[in-house]
Amino acid sequence: MEEEHTIVRFEDVWYHYPRTKAWSLKEITLSIKKGEFIAVIGENGAGKTTFCKCLNGIIPHTERGLLKGRVITSGLDTKTAYTSELALHVGIVLEDPDTQLFTTTVLNEVAFGPENLRQDPKEIRETARWALGVVGLEGFEDRPPTALSGGQKQRVAIASVLSMRPEIIVLDEPTSQLDPLGTEEVFEVVSQLRSRYGMTIIMSSHKMEEIVRFADRILVLHHGEVAAFDTPEQVFRNEELFSEVQVAIPSTVELAGYLQKRNVPVSLFSSVEEGESEIRRCLRGAGERS
């Protein structure tokens, strides 16, 4: 039964880039279930981008290097499947949306992928408008992408991937160049793709405050190896791990940990509102016991 729900599988994966002998990924063995939101974190150079590139065949088809082991996405072995076939199942959104936007209008941008598949023109337009509606950009069809804000551009990039109807969306640091508002926009859209449409989301990010709110599980990479792969509560509870990988712990998690060490029975909370609710619950419990 477990195998039926697995949509991504890494089987003892090792990889190094051309003209280098240093392994960027080492001994990666893990599985991801259909519909999960997986956050990939780690310090710079930990292997996050390399991991993402393995998911849709950029590695090994575009960036050759040496890939050992197997990566299976949507039942396809990325070593043997064509990248055009993988693109129907796995969409990728890059760090800088400007590298993915190159047409004159938002609608043309989102329609570009389906047009290359030679789909029916009416179906293409319907799909493109649907994708723009999902990311909250109805009414932006005729605007040039260059006139949009950073968060809007990244949402167009997500819509462009969404128009291909993939099962998996991979986002490599999609909010690194965005302000807090743009970051919140992207995380909300991506979360809805998982909750409303059952898509599997794999996102590398340094935005810990959002990750703890939205991710089902967190993959921590350190020097190309899996340092942890568990729920946010279990991962962020490991203080020794985070002192080693040098990734910031969300302030809400730090506060929850501080309270727990002082025997306040709070659960992990991911927002100020949840924290307030947890503390009030504990105070009510203490009042009832007294």
| 147 and 74 co-located in one domain | no
| CA 17 to centroid of chain Cα atoms | 23
Give yes or no for residue 287 having a pLDDT over 70. no
| pLDDT tens digits, one per residue of 208-235 | 888 888 999 999 999 999 999 999 888 9
Which range is least confidently modeled, 65-69, 110-114, 185-189, 269-273?
269-273
| 31 and 51 co-located in one domain | yes
**Cα gap 198→189, rounded to integer Å:** 13
Encoded tokens for 169: 């969306």
Give yes or no for residue 66 having a pLDDT over 90. yes
**Cα gap 160→113, rounded to integer Å:** 7
Give yes or no for residue 88 having a pLDDT over 70. yes
Average pLDDT over residues 229-243: 87
More confident residue, 275 or 60: 60
Encoded tokens for 280: 């009030």
Does residue 147 lie within any of the structural domains?
yes
> Among residues of the chain, what percentage have pLDDT more than 70?
96
Q: What is the C-alpha end-to-end distance of the chain, expressed in Å?
A: 48
| 172 and 29 co-located in one domain | yes
pLDDT of residue 69: 98
pLDDT of residue 183: 87
Q: Which of 150, 165, 180 delimits the end of a domain?
A: 165
CATH at 58: 3.40.50.300
3-class DSSP assignment, residue 160: helix
Query: What is the span of the domain harbouring residue 268?
Result: 250-289
| 57 and 75 co-located in one domain | yes
pTM confidence score: 0.87
pLDDT of residue 1: 40
Q: Which pLDDT band holds residue 248 (cuts at 50, 70, 90)?
A: confident
Give yes or no for residue 289 having a pLDDT over 70. no
The domain total for the chain is 3
Return the closest-CA partner of residue 106 out of 61, 49, 38, 154: 154
| 155 and 112 co-located in one domain | yes
Does residue 182 lie within any of the structural domains?
yes
| 8 and 80 co-located in one domain | yes
3-class DSSP assignment, residue 26: strand
pLDDT of residue 272: 72
3-class DSSP assignment, residue 207: coil
Does residue 94 lie within any of the structural domains?
no
Identity at 113, one-letter amino acid code: G
**Cα gap 192→84, rounded to integer Å:** 26
> Among residues of the chain, what percentage have pLDDT more than 90?
56
Does residue 28 lie within any of the structural domains?
yes
- 6: part of which helix (H) or strand (E)? strand 6-16
